[in-house]
Amino acid sequence: MIPAAASLHLYFRKFGKKDVRTYTDTPHSWAFNKLGSNFWEVLMSEPGRVEAFSRGLSLFEAIHPIIGVFPFEELLQPNNSPDRPLAVDVGGGRGLALLKIREGCPSLKGKLVLQDRKEVLDSIPPEELPGVEKMEHDFFTPQPVKHSQVYYIRRVFHDWQDEEACKILQAIVPAMAPDSRILISDMALPEPVGPEDDGAVWLDLMMMTIGGKERTKTDWEKLIEKAGLRLVKIWQTPQTGPLAVVEIMLKEPREENEGENGVQEEKKVEIQQPPVPSGHKGAEEPDIAKGIKRDHVDKVTGDAEAGETDTHGAEARPRELAHRDEAI
């Protein structure tokens, strides 16, 4: 993504100053001379790049921890059973999250399933994933693992705009038990962002190069509402800054009588209400896709066209992102 980020000003000069609303004609595909191919197709066009990318992600583990943000053991223990899937890691890459959950939550039993694209799964030797079942799965298609306690999705949603993100969520819904949780581990940017959030803003620009984006708390509320699901809580810690685990459950738990996979009869689940972020404009606006603008992109490219190479300096970033948030 770095070559794409470095040539953003040239991309916008050629394609116009507008948001990146494509997955195939992105700054990334343009930088690699592969217009018409999405990020994954560009990666797959060069031998070894898929594996290099998925291994490279592990370098960011320190700023994207799996244990210590969402209280897995505390909340999952009451309904945990060795006969029921514990966690499905959707688009899970090399499966590190599952290994960390197993290691960090010794009281939790149950099957761990790693789902991803074939190319990614094939690049992982079995000894790297003890006790984890690998399953090829396209996350836009119905989730095949029923009634898992957790459907864990890390660093995936920021690859996608809201329409596709909504489809990924909805593909899981029919598989969920009343007490299943979708846990999304991604950024939840504060509103407005401050100078201390420059790392997250940098990541937002990186994701833009492939057609994705980081989301604010309000963005998450709107997306989850649109998907017909219930935002239970956005978990964050002072140590991890804008990194969040977004906890989601069914809006109206369905009647469950099957007892399949050890799932008990429907029981009331205690939930904590999500904090109302400052600047919250309410979840009642129905069309989340409408009106989302990347005004900061226009600012960035405007500067670039004026001949400045360092167009998104540390001081400018928070201001520009805040400006985008105002437009939502």
Ligand X SMILES: C[S@@+](CC[C@H](N)C(=O)[O-])C[C@H]1O[C@@H](n2cnc3c(N)ncnc32)[C@H](O)[C@@H]1O
Identify which of residues 93 and 274 has a Cβ nearer to ligand X in the complex. 93
- Supply the residues annotated as catalytic: 158
Identify which of residues 40 and 202 has a Cβ nearer to ligand X in the complex. 40
Residue 216 Cβ, how far from ligand X at the closest point, in Å? 20
C-alpha angle 132-137-138 in degrees, rounded to nearest 5: 145
Identify which of residues 1 and 288 has a Cβ nearer to ligand X in the complex. 1
Residue 140 Cβ, how far from ligand X at the closest point, in Å? 6
Q: Give residues with Cβ within 8 angstroms of 251, minimum separation 6.
A: 228, 229, 230
Q: Reduce the DSSP state of residue 264 to 3 states and report it.
A: coil
CA atoms within 13 A on the CB side of 8: 29
Max alpha carbon distance in the chain (Å)? 65
Residue 308 Cβ, how far from ligand X at the closest point, in Å? 30
Identify which of residues 70 and 139 has a Cβ nearer to ligand X in the complex. 139
Nearest residue to the partner ligand X, using Cβ = 93
- The amino acid at residue 38 is N
Which residues of the shown chain bind ligand X in the complex (CB under 6 A)?
40, 54, 57, 91-93, 116-117, 120, 137-140, 154-156
Residues in the chain: 328
Contact (CB, 8 A) for 178 and 254: yes
CA distance 163 to 172: 15
Residue 38 Cβ, how far from ligand X at the closest point, in Å? 9
Given the structure tokens 């950024």, which residue do they identify?
187
State how far the alpha carbon of 10 is from the alpha carbons of 6, 196, 269, 285, in Å: 9, 28, 52, 35
Residue 293 Cβ, how far from ligand X at the closest point, in Å? 25
Q: Reduce the DSSP state of residue 3 to 3 states and report it.
A: helix
User: CA Rg, the chain, in Å?
Assistant: 20
DSSP letter at 200 equals H
Identify which of residues 139 and 220 has a Cβ nearer to ligand X in the complex. 139
- The amino acid at residue 87 is A
